[in-house]
Structure 1
Amino acid sequence: RVFIDILKRIPVSAGLAGGSSDAGAVLIGLSKLFKTKLTKKELMRMGVKLGADVPFCILRGTALAEGIGEKLTPLPSLPYTHILIAKPNISVSTESIFKQLSLKNIKNHPDTSGIIEAIEEQNTKFIFDNMYNVLEEITAKKYPVIEQIKKEMIKNGASASMMSGSGSAVFGIFENKYKCVEAAINLKNELRLKEVYPTSTYMQKSKKGKNNYVRRKIHNANK
């Protein structure tokens, strides 16, 4: 019998894969606790049964996600960048947003191949200029505060801003740490937000200390 206490640091119902991160951490922790010697790929196969985002949370780093999110191709880490996450004082149901999504009605699509190439070349300008979240059209229409936060991010010096996942959290990308922290203070004051978090990109390292990148190596959690 195992008793688990989880100290949640990721806001719930925010489109930040908080629950999936918890599930992935528990699988990894139990595997280490019981010395199962399960590989990361095996844990990912188990994880997809708990949630579509769980394999990604086990893999970690930057990756191209396909299928329902279980087919993952690792990509190079993004350059070290300061990120500001702001969650409005609302919670969004992922299930309800996806129920409203109609693939045939999606007018704009992100330039996935272009962004992958830009990640390989570390071309942050192209990445920031071409970020797009198709779910934003649905969630932001219902909750105008999301667009307000994005505009406030840009006003405070963000290079780009976008909703995370199905929402409601919004993130902004800052090249300067001090601008990021200053923006956090301003967003709290201007929009009366309770949850605002300055952070940075996750840099995954290989044993040799280089970015861990495996070209075209597909981790398929269903196989």
Structure 2
Amino acid sequence: MEIKSYAKVNLYLLVHKYNKKIGLHKLDSVLTKAGNLYDTINIYKNEKDDTSKIRYFTGSGQLIKFEDCVVKRILNLLNDFGIKTNYKIDIYKKIPIQAGLGGGSSNAAAVAKYILDENKIKPTPKLLREIVKIGSDIPFFLSKFTVARITSYGEKVKQIKLPFNIEIEIANNGIACNTKTVFDKYRSLEKKEKIKGDKQLKLLKEKNFNALRNQLQQACFIAYPEVKEFTARLNENINGNRFKLSGSGSTLFRVIE
């Protein structure tokens, strides 16, 4: 079975209270799938034994090795919930890695959704609470929504219906941004602007895209000055909607009108 695993961008991203016990921030963000950027996953049952086998490839077919395989972590979690995961999984990557586009979370969600659907299992609130510890974007990718607002730690997903279509231009310069590094830098900032998600959503619906905020952008720019320089170069001659950060970086995007 061949399935598509789409990238996402955060149209806005607000970072709220940090829970030291579980090591996660509460978030408020509107995400949209990037319909023209996706990984391809081939998945089929492993008939020889009860083990799972995961391989990653570049678009040209070259094998990639990952130290931290998000898909393996989601399979282990499903096993903990008594769900068999004896599958062979080949993932062909087009979504840049560590780029704020949710590629790993998208892969994990696509695989989990396939297995859950095949076994006719709906994810329970308890399972979702564990899933967000692997990736806060995963519940969004598990949903059928193209545009949605996530709150809490990512497990609360609500469809957003906009009166217009979102078309995104993506720019990536190949810089790998570590999510933990960016969040650590965010927590170290002395001043953190308080922004209400409902106001951001209103601005989005009014198509005031330049007023939408990503509260991780400043932290990413401090941790990775080259991303800040790349952003400045792209926005130098732009009068309309400007490029801004998606997720924890390094990918930039802007809405095309």
Q: TM-score range by the shorter chain?
A: 0.5 to 0.7
User: Match for residue 151 of structure 1?
Assistant: 232
Answer whether contact 2:243 2:254 (CA < 8 A) is retained: yes
Contact kept? 1:110, 1:130, Cα under 8 Å:
no
Instruction: Report whether the alignment pairs 1:117 with 2:202.
Output: yes
Structure 1 residues 144-171: Cα deviation after superposition (integer angstroms, max 9, x where no partner): 3323333344324551321111111111
Equivalent in the alignment of 1:172: 254
Q: Are the aligned partners of 2:116 and 2:122 in contact in 1 as well (CA < 8 Å)?
A: no
Q: CA deviation at 1:104?
A: 7.2
| Gapped regions of structure 2 (runs ≥ 5) | 1-85
Q: What is the TM-score when the length of structure 1 is the normalising length?
A: 0.65
Residues 5-24 of structure 1: matches in 2 within 5 Å? 5-24=90-109
RMSD value over aligned CA atoms?
2.6
Confirm or deny: 8 A CA contact 1:131 1:162 kept in the other structure.
no
- Distance in 2 (alpha carbons) for counterparts of 1:103 and 1:110: 18
Code of the aligned partner of 1:58: L
Which of 60, 76, 81 is the aligned partner of 2:166?
81
Residue 114 of structure 2: SS of its match in structure 1? helix
- Listed one character per residue, the Cα deviations across residues 34-74 of structure 1 (whole Å, up to 9, x for unaligned) are x3222366674563353222111112332222222222232
Answer 1 or 2: which has greater strand percent: 2
| Equivalent residues in 2 for 1:12-161, closer than 5 Å | 12-32=97-117, 35-39=118-122, 44=128, 47-59=131-143, 60-77=145-162, 79-102=164-187, 105-119=190-204, 122-125=205-208, 128-154=209-235, 155-156=237-238, 158-161=240-243
- Write out the 4+ residue segments of structure 1 that deviate beyond 3 Å after TM superposition: 40-47, 151-154
Higher relative contact order (Cα pairs below 8 Å, separated by 6+ residues): 1
AA aligned opposite 1:146: V
Of 80-89 and 9-18, deviating more is 80-89
The aligned amino acid for 1:123 is: E
Q: Secondary structure at the match of 1:24?
A: helix
TM-score where L is the length of structure 2: 0.57
Q: What are the ranges of 5 or more consecutive residues in structure 1 without an aligned counterpart?
A: 176-223
Greater share of residues in helix: 1
SS in 2 for 1:16: coil
The answer as to whether partners of 1:157 and 1:174 remain within 8 angstroms in 2 is no
